[in-house]
Amino acid sequence: MASPVVTPTGMRVLFATSEAAPLVKTGGLADVSSALPAALARLGSDVRVLLPGYGPVLAWIEGRGTPLATLSLPPFPDARLVEARGPDGRMLWVLDCPPLFARDGGLYQRRGGDDWPDNDVRFGLLSRAAAVLSRADSPVAWRPEVLHCNDWQTGLAPAWLALEPLPPGGRAGTVMTIHNLAYQGVFAPDSLPRLGLPWDWFRPDGVEFWGQLSFLKAGLQFADALSTVSPTYAQEIRQEPLGFGLQGLLAWRARDLVGILNGIDVDVWDPASDPLIPQRYDARTLAQKAENRAALRTRLGLDVDASVPLAGVVSRFAHQKGLDLLIGCAERALALPMQLAVLGSGDPILETAFQDLAARHPGRVGLLTGFDESLSHLIEAGADLFVMPSRYEPCGLNQMYSQRYGTPVVARRTGGLADSIVDATPEHLADGTATGVLFDAATPDALLAALARAAALFADRPAWRRMQQAGMARDFSWDAAARAVAALHARVARTG
């Protein structure tokens, strides 16, 4: 029986995720997994973040953790569940299973870029543990009313909770959040016995997807409620091409699917107090942003010329992000004129393309291939404008960081970019709401035209300053979004 929870606050929530900033991060999910639980806690919810015990996580909890339980969940290896406060003070539940998680390499991939071959077992265990801890017969006394799953790595948990017989006292309600539908956790059928899944779940209305096992489909099929990270993306994924094969299921579950635009951590991303930038500033002292620009130019070996706009990029190098469009128009963009400051890593073809570009244009293209948290802050603060030509973008965080740092964004009109940037149309320039430049076609020419529009606006200093200030005045904090998430929790919460 569902519990009579009517207020969106005061719920016990287990937030299951495969990364959380600042301990382990490959992208926006990590930022969300630290900022959203904090915002929910401010609303009165009692949140635990379930996270795999990767090396940096184990190093953090060393000497700080309290063992809660040993989880013996065959066919998985035994794991310990350890409770500890994270660097931000939030309560972490760490799934300590060194053979699966404490490895030298990436969270999902080994050095060199191949996926770990046992990712099904690694995240099968994460999902299994999330499910077991959300049932009345959990070995831990603290039991959630809501299990909030994130992306494919936790997608099997709702299936286990929906399909296995329940003990008296039942289970938590489940929410499945899609941060990126392109990553689905699809494995060959021989994964089923490796994960202890019964063959009769391997059906189109179960966990089967075109002859394979799909973790994300399992979550989308069986969670009580579904969400994704922007309203526009919630629409886009109900159709080809952005449904990536799951559009039918998502259209069928459309009534249970809500798009809630992510917030950002306004304490970590605050130009007025950011310890990672040399000169702090706010909307009134915007002129001081120039010192960060000078520092960024020095750091990346760029020529000093304040009349040339400096465009920044901080991104995973993946097809999604459309950086090949930037490569495709880079020479013409540099001739506008414009300079580029690029931080990113991933696809080796793109890494090489940017390295070649930087080698051909010393002083005009600055590049760091790798992951560098502090340079990412310096680019937000030091760039004149920020570029996100994403083919699709479920939410995107950098465009919100950029606006908060007074750095107007040039972006494709898709997903969360469309929902969080106000295009510099004549109307929006006139009423002072414009915060960036949006373009539609995923082509180098369309990106170039948008960069040219931005360069022209940059030359009109008062217009540009109004755009900077409009972006800085926007409220991208989690407060409103967390209330929407808490309302979703209240809808599905169950104690029995």
Nearer to ligand ADP, 100 or 353 (CB): 353
If binding is defined by CB under 6 A, does position 397 make contact with ligand ADP? yes
Nearer to ligand ADP, 31 or 419 (CB): 31
Q: Residues touching ligand GLC: how many (CB under 6 A)?
A: 14
If binding is defined by CB under 6 A, does position 395 make contact with ligand GLC? yes
- For residue 342, the minimal CB distance to ligand ADP (Å) is 9
If binding is defined by CB under 6 A, does position 52 make contact with ligand GLC? no
Contact 286, 469 (CB under 8 A): yes
Question: Between 317 and 356, how does the x/- string for binding to ligand ADP read (CB under 6 A)?
Answer: --------------------------xxx-----------
The number of CA neighbours under 13 Å toward the Cβ of 84 is 23
If binding is defined by CB under 6 A, does position 27 make contact with ligand GLC? yes
Query: Can you tell me which of 69, 82, 229, 410 binds ligand GLC, judged by CB under 6 A?
Result: 229
- For residue 371, the minimal CB distance to ligand ADP (Å) is 4
Euclidean distance between CA atoms 222 and 284, whole angstroms: 50
Count of CB atoms situated within 10 Å of the CB of 92: 26
Euclidean distance between CA atoms 51 and 126, whole angstroms: 8
Binding part of the chain for ligand ADP, among 50-58, 166-174, 372-380, 432-440 by CB under 6 A, reads 372-380
Count of CB atoms situated within 10 Å of the CB of 44: 12
Long-range contacts formed by 249-257: CB under 8 A, 24+ apart: 249/217, 249/220, 249/221, 250/220, 250/226, 253/220, 253/226, 256/224, 256/225, 256/226, 257/226, 257/227, 257/228
If binding is defined by CB under 6 A, does position 27 make contact with ligand ADP? yes
Euclidean distance between CA atoms 3 and 6, whole angstroms: 9
Question: Between 248 and 277, how does the x/- string for binding to ligand GLC read (CB under 6 A)?
Answer: --------------x---------------
If binding is defined by CB under 6 A, does position 419 make contact with ligand GLC? no
Euclidean distance between CA atoms 493 and 496, whole angstroms: 9
- For residue 41, the minimal CB distance to ligand GLC (Å) is 19
If binding is defined by CB under 6 A, does position 485 make contact with ligand GLC? no
229 binds, among ligand ADP, ligand GLC, none (CB under 5 to 8 A by kind): ligand GLC
Q: Which two tokens stand for residue 92?
A: 């972490």
If binding is defined by CB under 6 A, does position 396 make contact with ligand ADP? yes
If binding is defined by CB under 6 A, does position 28 make contact with ligand ADP? yes
State which residue has the least CB distance to ligand GLC: 28
If binding is defined by CB under 6 A, does position 270 make contact with ligand ADP? no
Question: Between 167 and 186, how does the x/- string for binding to ligand GLC read (CB under 6 A)?
Answer: ------------xx------
If binding is defined by CB under 6 A, does position 12 make contact with ligand ADP? no
- For residue 272, the minimal CB distance to ligand ADP (Å) is 19
3-state secondary structure of 281: coil
Query: Can you tell me which of 316, 319, 428, 483 binds ligand ADP, judged by CB under 6 A?
Result: 316
- Dihedral, CA of residue 257, residue 261, residue 262 and residue 266, to nearest 10: -160
If binding is defined by CB under 6 A, does position 236 make contact with ligand ADP? no
- Dihedral, CA of residue 116, residue 119, residue 122 and residue 128, to nearest 10: 180
Q: Which two tokens stand for residue 426?
A: 């004549």
Euclidean distance between CA atoms 199 and 209, whole angstroms: 14
- For residue 396, the minimal CB distance to ligand GLC (Å) is 5
3-state secondary structure of 438: strand
Euclidean distance between CA atoms 39 and 155, whole angstroms: 23
Question: Cα dist. 464→82, 91, 284, 455, 495 in Å?
Answer: 51, 43, 15, 10, 53
Binding part of the chain for ligand ADP, among 80-88, 90-98, 287-295, 394-402 by CB under 6 A, reads 394-402
The rounded radius of gyration (Å) of the Cα atoms in the chain is: 23
Q: Which two tokens stand for residue 361?
A: 């244009």
- For residue 390, the minimal CB distance to ligand GLC (Å) is 8
Euclidean distance between CA atoms 328 and 336, whole angstroms: 15
- For residue 372, the minimal CB distance to ligand ADP (Å) is 5
- For residue 440, the minimal CB distance to ligand GLC (Å) is 18
The order of strands in the sheet holding 146-150 is: 66-71, 79-85, 91-96, 46-52, 12-16, 146-150, 173-178, 225-228, 257-259
45 binds, among ligand ADP, ligand GLC, none (CB under 5 to 8 A by kind): none
- For residue 77, the minimal CB distance to ligand ADP (Å) is 29
If binding is defined by CB under 6 A, does position 394 make contact with ligand GLC? yes
- For residue 265, the minimal CB distance to ligand GLC (Å) is 12
Contact 17, 155 (CB under 8 A): no
Count of CB atoms situated within 10 Å of the CB of 201: 18
- For residue 95, the minimal CB distance to ligand GLC (Å) is 21
- For residue 322, the minimal CB distance to ligand GLC (Å) is 12
If binding is defined by CB under 6 A, does position 393 make contact with ligand GLC? yes
How do strand 91-96 and strand 46-52 relate by DSSP bridges? parallel
- Rule CB under 6 A: which residues touch ligand GLC? 27-29, 32, 179-180, 229, 262, 393-397, 416
Interacting residue ranges for ligand ADP, rule: CB under 6 A: 27-29, 31, 314-316, 343-345, 371-373, 376, 395-398
